[in-house]
Amino acid sequence: MAYRSLRDFLARLEAEGELVCIREPVSPHLEITEIVDRVVKSGGPALLFENTGTDFPLAINLFGSYRRMCLALGVESLDQIHDELMELLSFAPPGTLLDKLRMVPRYARLARYLPRIVSRGPCQEVVMDPPDLGRLPVMTCWPEDGGPFLTLPIIHTQDPETGIRNVGLYRMQVYDGRTTGMHWHPHKVSARHFRRYQERGERMPVAVALGGDPVYTYCATAPLPDGIDEYILAGFLRRRPVELVRCRTIPLHVPADADIVIEGYVDPQEPFRLEGPFGDHTGYYSLPDYFPVFHVTCITHRRDAVYPSTIVGIPPQEDAYLGKATERIFLAPIRKTLLPEMLDMHLPIEGVFHNLAIVKIRKEYPGHAHKVMHTILGAGQMMFTKLLVITDEGVDIQNLSELVAYGVERFEPARDVIFSEGPMDILDHACSRPGFGGKLAVDLSTKTADELRLAGGLPDAADIRGRPAPIDLQTLQQRLPEVRGLHFCVPSHRPFMAFVAIEKRRPGHARQVAESLLQMPELERTRILVILDEDVDVSDTAEAVWRFTNNIDAKRDSWIVPSRGPGLPSRLVFDATRKWPEEGFTRPWPHILTMTPEVIARIDALWPRLGLGPFVPSPSRKYLRAIRRRSAVVEP
């Protein structure tokens, strides 16, 4: 369904019991973040802060559950969109005249979704004179952030040569009332547009929309193929074309029903400006770097405008559900254009979109899983995938317990692990080189006779008999005093994967501990061993996976240990500890995101007046143990 405005969507959420309005004064500087972090992680509602100290209320956590994500997209389930796209895309090239005539209704259906230009729209009801970003309730989200950031800006740019529009979502640090940073990663389409203007020596017009139909925000995050207009997808999702109005000061168009529009330009001849730090979706700070500067020329808004915002950080956060929508929606075009053998895809929330992907295929020939691996690691934003697991039809990959049990029966590291290197997300802090690092794929598909022969006859893990002797943390600490935590993943009688937290005391210490652990009879059948820092709660599997996948370069920090003898498996080991300069890692290592004790205490006291029900403690309390000092960077 199509929403006429952000307030229209908020009214729907309120009618569904999915919205709480907070009338108590709350500051956008850190306090809203602390409230929202508690609400998101406890599965709470969307929030509308009505008293922000500005003329605009602030809406947040709009997409923070599967239910609200479906309401935003007008469906009962996210798989419903996948099924509709599969039906729309499932046709053979027309052959006869009759075949072509049968295609006409389908093409007509697509044509209904094309955006259209209108002469005026609610987004221009009020012109802010003079334009001043300081009048918006822009949030400072985390204590070490470089300043306040627009976190849900729908950014419009245009290729100066082709005129093709791009709509993306990139954070914008507010420097003052008329300038912001423009955080374009080099892989993004808007960054390419910027380079084209740079080559031409021309100013680049940029329009920023906030609010409107929530579909616009989702489509700005969607990994569409290059050159495909995001507003065609938006029209398809809302069953109604997007109406666009021309900006007042620049030659770009924005949704007529947006809540707020910020017009301006980026001058390619102007020196870049330092932007950040910023508490990012990885759960860590992304560190300062130099980016282009955006200059505001005009701000317009609806008379009843609502300012939309979000926070990102330690998962789960609101953005996780945007990612899950993409997982379900884009399974259809991936299957139709790249991988018809793909049956399902799972991007676990703990993997923060690009650190871990699990793909199920219909395997048809030897090496098929390798073909899928290479396709995925070269496909659009999937090229940033760090850890990739490929299975065949025998497992529900959405059920991680079932996946682990499936792996127990099949995984032989020396046979099933493939290493690679390639582009990584710029926000990945563990790569030795920014934006480039190691990748690791695991082939859990059932092996053909030819694959077993080429692998030297290595058997499936199911052929390895016997059970490990029991070992507990206390016994392990008697042998290795630096160990601080031990957790085996299911099933307990055949521990497939072990997380071990250690007090790292010297360069190379994690590898030394791993070597000692691998000599112990109790661990000789554990296929995967992960060494983590002492501040990780390894008994919390979600936290352990989040920290582990963030903190490795998959090629540099993992290795395969050969079998110790007949009937015993090889082992895959990961050093997921913080890397030290003495180990050759020269980049700064960021802190994880936590709120300050002072803000936590203020919100503790304020909680009874917020109307949010029973008290919810701060999620940051669990992670304060990891903070050595208040800084975005961990001291060497």
Q: Which residues are catalytic?
A: 280
In order, the DSSP letters of 98-122 are HHHHHHHHHHHHHHTTS-EE-S--G
CA distance 515 to 224: 45
d(CA 479, CA 519): 12
Q: Are strands 285-286 and 278-279 parallel, antiparallel or unpaired?
A: antiparallel
317 contacts 282 by C-beta, under 8 angstroms: no
- Residue 223 vs residues 166, 188, 347: alpha-carbon distances, Å: 11, 10, 14
**CA atoms of 380 and 102, how far apart (whole Å):** 32
Structure tokens at 233: 């997808």
CA dist., res. 466 & res. 447, Å (int): 22
C-alpha closest to that of 626 among 507, 531, 501: 501
396, 402 Cβ separation under 8 angstroms: yes
Chain-centre distance for alpha carbon 69: 15
Buried b (16+ CB within 10 A) or exposed e, 410-427: bbbbbbbbbeebebbbbb
- Among all chains, which residue has been given the structure tokens 């919205």? 19
CA 76 centroid distance within chain? 23
Q: What is the DSSP letter of 52?
A: S
Among candidate residues 190, 201, 377, 171, the one with its CA nearest the CA of residue 276: 171
Contact 593, 313 (CB under 8 A): yes
